[in-house]
Amino acid sequence: EESTKSEADAAASDQARLTLAEQKTASEKPAAAVAFSPDGNWIACAGADGIVSLHGGQDAIPRDTWDGGAGESKALVAFLDNGRAVIGGGAAAAGVWQVAPRWSLARTIGGELTPPASDDQPGVPPLDGVTAMAFSPDGTMLATGSGRASRSGEIKLWNVADGALVRELAAPHSDAVTALEFSRDGKFLASGGTDRFVKVHTVADGKHLKSFEGHTGHVLGVAWQANGRRLSSAGADNAIKIWDVVTGEQQRTIGGVKKEVTAVKFIAPGEEVIACSGDPTVRIYNAGNGGTVREFAGAADFVQSVAAGPTWLAAGCQDGKLRIWTVADGKLTQTIEPSPAKP
């Protein structure tokens, strides 16, 4: 009965967010994804309207914008290195873009129709958009996730250099894939899905290694601890879970969040983990004991995504704004308005 109530609450919350999103104007679309460059000098923010903005320097002022055309699909953004960023979305494809000196498309990965089975049958369209992606630590491989609701999940591994498909994982989830992250050594890939499972796969052969069950709602984020011993997951059941990768056991559940946890990230090299939610608050927790280390207040509504650099923490919010705090003291230093695309 309690599980049924949790599912109903999660569904109602999702519908409320959808209704709110439909009422937003183009300039108010959610800042759905945010990422720091490896050197911490750049922040990329992707909106649900497909507009990607690049911010640089200690003042984090907007340096450039580009219209990625992601439409209403889930916007994604991740840095490959300090010179390139990748975004993915609507057409079940990912695009690699040169950041400096100006946005330029380097490559489009995926998005083609599946060849027809016979001359009188049409090709099968790609799955419904790229819903998750992650780079391998060495930057040579891109993992993408997608799926059809209540039917299947899909994970593909791509060669970044030429866009070639390296491997497709066999039936990784029974529902859409919503989160992906490589382990720091690049040997394993963690995934989360709307089937409520967290799973680990070996990158070399794509085989399923382990499943972690315990969430009562969609898994919205996964993160590896730097040493590879723990995984953290964010759920629509308002919970953060910490998993022992070796034993497969759930170490603890971090609760006290009033709405779904939308993203989670470990802070290297220790055991602190950042999570954001619809509270709307961003928090740092201790994965070892589950305690709250610091809160980052100031968001007006749902916090959709979070990323941390050496000094700054950035979060993308439902109102389309990018908010930046200092990690050391939790002080909100900037609130950046969404930028329109350049003609």
- C-alpha to C-alpha distance for 92 and 82, rounded to whole angstroms: 25
Closest by CA to 126, choosing from 114, 109, 118, 137, is 114
For residue 39, with 0-12 CB atoms within 10 Å meaning exposed, 13-18 middle and 19 or more buried, which class applies? exposed
Mean pLDDT of 18-37: 55
- Model confidence at 279, in pLDDT bands (50, 70, 90)? confident
Closest by CA to 273, choosing from 313, 318, 321, is 313
* Comparison of pLDDT for 49 and 165, the residue scoring more: 165
- Model confidence at 102, in pLDDT bands (50, 70, 90)? low
- pLDDT greater than 50 at residue 20: no
- Model confidence at 73, in pLDDT bands (50, 70, 90)? very low
Give the alpha-carbon dihedral of 252, 258, 263, 265, to 10 degrees.
-50
Mean pLDDT of 54-76: 61
- Model confidence at 340, in pLDDT bands (50, 70, 90)? low
- pLDDT greater than 50 at residue 333: yes
- For residue 125, is the peptide bond before it cis, meaning its omega torsion is within 30 degrees of 0? no
In angstroms, what is the C-alpha Rg of the chain?
Answer: 19
CB 198 within 8 A of CB 243: yes
Q: Which of 30-34, 117-121, 203-207, 312-316 has the lowest mean pLDDT?
A: 117-121
Element (H, E) at 19: helix 2-23
- How much is the pLDDT for 15? 43
Most confident range (mean pLDDT) of 15-19, 214-218, 324-328 is: 214-218
Mean pLDDT of 256-261: 93
All residues at 6 or more sequence positions from 289 whose CB lies less than 8 Å from its CB, including other chains: none
Q: Which of 31-35, 157-161, 254-258, 292-296 has the lowest mean pLDDT?
A: 31-35
The SS3 call for residue 13 is helix
- C-alpha to C-alpha distance for 332 and 106, rounded to whole angstroms: 35
- C-alpha to C-alpha distance for 214 and 195, rounded to whole angstroms: 11
- C-alpha to C-alpha distance for 255 and 238, rounded to whole angstroms: 7
- pLDDT greater than 80 at residue 249: yes
Closest by CA to 189, choosing from 210, 171, 174, 175, is 210
- Model confidence at 121, in pLDDT bands (50, 70, 90)? very low
